[in-house]
Amino acid sequence: MAWRSINTLRVLAMEAVEQAQSGHPGTPMALAPAAYVLWTRHLRHHPGAPDWADRDRFVLSCGHASMLLYGLLHLSGYGLSLDEIRAFRQWGSRTPGHPERGHTPGVEITTGPLGQGVGNAVGMAIAERLLADQFNRPGHQIVDHRTWALVSDGDLMEGVASEAASLAGHLRLGRLTLIYDDNRITIDGTTSLTFSEDVGQRFEAYGWQVLRVDDGNDLAAIDAALSAASVQSDLPTLVILRTVIADPAPTKRNTSESHGAPLGAAEIAATKKLLGWPDEPFHVPDEARADMAQSLERGRRWHAEWEARMAEYDVAYPDRAAEFRDRMAGRLPADWDRVLPVFEGGGLATRQASQKILDALMPVIPALAG
């Protein structure tokens, strides 16, 4: 059953990119097994309530692999239709080339610029820490989620990823896990052209727990690594996942050609034959739908359990509960701007002005961090 779902994700990625004649098929194909294990065994989410406050956060930092996320959203019940999958990268569709927050249900953050999603994930983990510290009370845990991100070689080459990862290690953000797609391929060729550092040692130096999975198709090993990450509370975790880009395409796997271009009709036909897949375009087996639909039932249960905890919190701490809901809705405290300093004419460095503003706002806007 698992492999029917995984191969459905792979085929949808191949065919959507082919139909659009634009996109990145290789990474979604390689990451489909890991994404499946994360999505079905570890990620606490509810397709029926995509903005549930205590859901786990999922960041696709390698936003060019968007068809992986769209396939997951389609199969697990987020209301993303097969017609939208067919309309990948078309004007007006809900399946743009890179995921966009607020445009597609289930997309946590707009990603695309490499490295940015690592910073986003670290920020989300900091937000969880801040919310938990400010609102959880003994016997009343209403903030208890984790942040997961899929990241690529290209992400980890970027400076923003280094800065964010260093901060995450310093803050010991134990509820953060990055899954690193170590496929050693870029759009120009192998990563050895420009990238030879030991990523694992680098993250250990940042203060991260580093785990390794040597085969991106080994579901048990992936599951074990994510389970180990889930019980880690003191250190953020990097899972180095060795994959083969465009696996199992017979002639395009492990090639740079599969990174950012359609595989071609002949290669797709050969891959389908290898998988025992029907020729019908955009075929989704009933078994895959049934398998992934379990996310909806699990999500209902998790959401209901949290709603029960929140109801108890409402009774025990009504003022804090109201503030929590305001925070989740993005509502600022009344008259927050009254505390803003007034600057007279004269010279003042922008960093000093910023400091004065933040010093004034921090006591009245507890959501601020920095």
CB-facing half-sphere around the CA of 183: CA atoms within 13 A: 30
Task: Give backbone dihedrals phi and psi of 92, rounded to 5 degrees, phi first.
Answer: 90, -5
Q: What is the pLDDT of residues 98-156, one digit of tens each?
A: 999 999 999 999 999 999 999 999 999 999 999 999 999 999 999 999 999 999 999 99
Say whether 97 sits in a helix, a strand or coil: coil
Beta strands (DSSP E) in the chain are 57-60, 147-152, 176-182, 185-186, 189-190, 209-213, 237-242
Residue in the block written with tokens 């459905």: 8
59 bridge partner residues: 149
Query: What's the CA gap between 177 and 224, in Å, rounded?
Result: 14
Contact 61, 118 (CB under 8 A): yes
CA 141 to chain centre: 24
Q: How far is CA 92 from CA 13, 64, 75, in A?
A: 19, 18, 21
Contact 27, 68 (CB under 8 A): yes
Residue type, 278: P
Task: Give backbone dihedrals phi and psi of 348, rounded to 5 degrees, phi first.
Answer: -155, 125
- Beta strands 57-60 and 147-152, pairing class: parallel
What's the pLDDT score for residue 232? 87
What is the DSSP-derived secondary structure letter of residue 41? Answer: I
Q: What is the largest CA-CA distance in the chain?
A: 74
Spans of the chain below 70 pLDDT: none
Q: What is the edge-to-edge ordering of all strands in the sheet holding 237-242?
A: 57-60, 147-152, 176-182, 237-242, 209-213
For every residue of 335-348, DSSP letters joined together read TGGGG---PPSS--
Q: Tokens at residue 104, please?
A: 């597609």
What's the pLDDT score for residue 298? 95
Cβ count within 10 A of residue 350: 7
What's the pLDDT score for residue 344? 86
Q: Can you list the domains of the chain with their CATH numbers?
A: 2-301 (3.40.50.970), 333-370 (no CATH)
Query: What's the CA gap between 73 and 332, in Å, rounded?
Result: 32
| Residues comprising the chain, all counted | 370
What's the pLDDT score for residue 35? 99
Q: Which residues contact 299 (CB under 8 A, 6 or more apart)?
A: 44, 45, 46, 47, 48, 49
Query: What's the CA gap between 14 and 26, in Å, rounded?
Result: 8
Q: Tokens at residue 22, please?
A: 């634009």
Contact 68, 12 (CB under 8 A): no
Query: What's the CA gap between 114 and 125, in Å, rounded?
Result: 19
Query: What's the CA gap between 183 and 166, in Å, rounded?
Result: 23
